[in-house]
Amino acid sequence: MKKLPVFTLGVEEEYQIIDPHSRDLRSHLSKIVDGAKIILNEQVKAEMHQSVVEVGTNICKNVQEAADEIKYLRSKIVELAAKQDLVVGGAGTHPFSRWQDQPITDDPRYHHIVNELQDAARSNLIFGMHCHVGIENREIGMQLMNQACYFLPHIFALSTNSPFWEGRQTGYKSFRTKVFDKFPRTGLPEYFDSVAAYDNYLDTLVKTNCIDNPKKIWWDLRLHPFYDTIEFRICDMSLTVDETICIVAIIQAIVAKLYKLSLNNMSFNIYRLALIKENKFRAARYGIEGNMIDFGLQKEVETKMLILELLEFIDDVVDELGSREQINYVHTIMKEGTGADKQLAVFEKTNDLSQVVDFITSEFTKGL
């Protein structure tokens, strides 16, 4: 049996910087980023809003390496925040913070986005986790991306962690995606039959001044314009490292499994985007608690059942990737609920969003 190539990983997380007294998001005035740059070099950067810090791992050979890096990055940002009397949290939205009160980072790139997108950009106070999986070449990457699109709602459902927005219980398990939908070039990716067609599309957008660089394609999954990676961007930021790593491991395994099928001249069915959108909506609304559509059977099935089927589908690559332990954490998520379920449980018990924030910040350092 042909050995699988190494599917390298790169993980980006976006952290909330929080005032421990008011529990609101708080501008760190770039002190955290400047401090982090000294120890972490290019692994940390400011985001559009001053209360957000983005970190990224180096290129990791396996899930274990990625886990070690994320633990290290989380620990370091917590340390630097503490020096400013600030705390850190991981969730797709802040429970009550108002975007109108959050200053924009003074950087030409962000000024440009705000100038173009106006309130759609200013209100984009959301936090995600992005996972890059390295691929041999972009042609293979394109094929894998087309097929992996089907699994995005399943992955997304497990990550749902943004039930509140501006002090309201939204009724969604992930409201983050509803906020981000206001941006152009977001949502599920278009189908492209070749890299040439994809590059042609990017060239057209750049040529016609729709975008100034190809990174302004903000789809849920994209073939990265500059690296040999496919980048999964659909997930909410997770409460804990364990959740992040579980989801990263599942993403890596999906890519590896689809690659393995292609070695045997097989491929996964490509489903109509309009159908996958239905499942994405259900994931945003209900997380793992609702039903999704099984397109093969053409009927509704419990989302948890579909996730178990996904685990069966990837099972024959997991040991080679060395990620069984991390993937098995999915059973804990299914039993205890996603980040959104946990946030809602705290709110139900206390009826106090400040306590939800305290819960988010206390979970951030779990397992570090």
* SS3 per residue for 47-83: CCECCEEEEECCCECCHHHHHHHHHHHHHHHHHHHHH
Residue 298 to residue 42: CA distance in whole angstroms: 47
pLDDT of residue 42: 81
Whether residue 199 contacts residue 138, with contact meaning beta carbons closer than 8 Å, is answered with no
What is the pairing mode between strands 52-56 and 87-89?
A: unpaired
Over the stretch 267-281, which tens digit does the pLDDT of each residue have? Answer: 898 999 999 999 999
Q: pLDDT-based confidence at 7, cuts 50/70/90?
A: very high
Global confidence as pTM: 0.97
| Exposure string over 138-148, b if 16+ CB within 10 A, otherwise e | bebbbbbbbbb
Helix (H, G, I), strand (E, B) or coil at 343: helix
6 CB neighbour count, 10 Å cutoff:
12
Residue 10 to residue 60: CA distance in whole angstroms: 6
Q: Is the pLDDT of residue 203 over 70?
A: yes
Residue 320 to residue 153: CA distance in whole angstroms: 25
79 CB neighbour count, 10 Å cutoff:
14
Whether residue 293 contacts residue 299, with contact meaning beta carbons closer than 8 Å, is answered with yes
Cα-based distances in Å from 222 to 77, 190, 211: 28, 9, 16
Cβ neighbours of residue 111 under 8 Å, at least 6 residues apart?
104
Over the stretch 249-268, which tens digit does the pLDDT of each residue have? Answer: 999 999 999 999 999 888 89
Cα-based distances in Å from 62 to 8, 11, 291: 6, 11, 32
Q: Is the pLDDT of residue 325 over 70?
A: yes
Whether residue 272 contacts residue 326, with contact meaning beta carbons closer than 8 Å, is answered with no
Q: Is the pLDDT of residue 99 over 90?
A: yes
Q: Is the pLDDT of residue 128 over 70?
A: yes
Q: What is the DSSP letter of 12?
A: E
Residue 306 to residue 302: CA distance in whole angstroms: 7
pLDDT of residue 343: 98
- Averaged pLDDT for residues 107-135: 92
Find residue 52's DSSP bridge partners: 16
Which of 319, 297, 344 is CA-nearest to residue 62?
Answer: 319
114 CB neighbour count, 10 Å cutoff:
16
pLDDT of residue 269: 87
- Averaged pLDDT for residues 314-319: 97
Q: How wide is the angle at C-alpha 10 spanned by C-alphas 312 and 276, nearest 5°? A: 50
Which of 268, 245, 243 is CA-nearest to residue 321?
Answer: 245
Over the stretch 293-313, which tens digit does the pLDDT of each residue have? Answer: 999 899 999 999 999 999 999
- Helices 273-286 and 152-159: crossing angle, nearest 10°? 10
| Percentage of the chain modeled with pLDDT above 90 | 83
E strand or H helix at 286: helix 273-286
pLDDT of residue 120: 86
Over the stretch 21-43, which tens digit does the pLDDT of each residue have? Answer: 999 999 987 889 988 888 888 89
- Averaged pLDDT for residues 336-350: 98
pLDDT of residue 348: 98
Match 């040439």 to its residue by tokens: 196
Q: Is the pLDDT of residue 1 over 70?
A: no
- Averaged pLDDT for residues 220-242: 95
Task: Compute the mean pLDDT over every residue in the chain, rounded to the nearest whole number.
Answer: 95
Residue 326 to residue 238: CA distance in whole angstroms: 15
Helix (H, G, I), strand (E, B) or coil at 129: strand
Phi-psi region of 337 (alpha: psi -120 to 50; beta: other; left: phi over 0): left
- Averaged pLDDT for residues 140-167: 97
Q: Read out DSSP for 142-210?
A: HHHHHHHGGGHHHHHHHH--B-EETTEE-S-SB-HHHHHTTSSSEESPPP-SSHHHHHHHHHHHHHTTS
Cβ neighbours of residue 2 under 8 Å, at least 6 residues apart?
263
Q: Which fold, 9-364?
A: Creatine Kinase; Chain A, domain 2 (3.30.590)
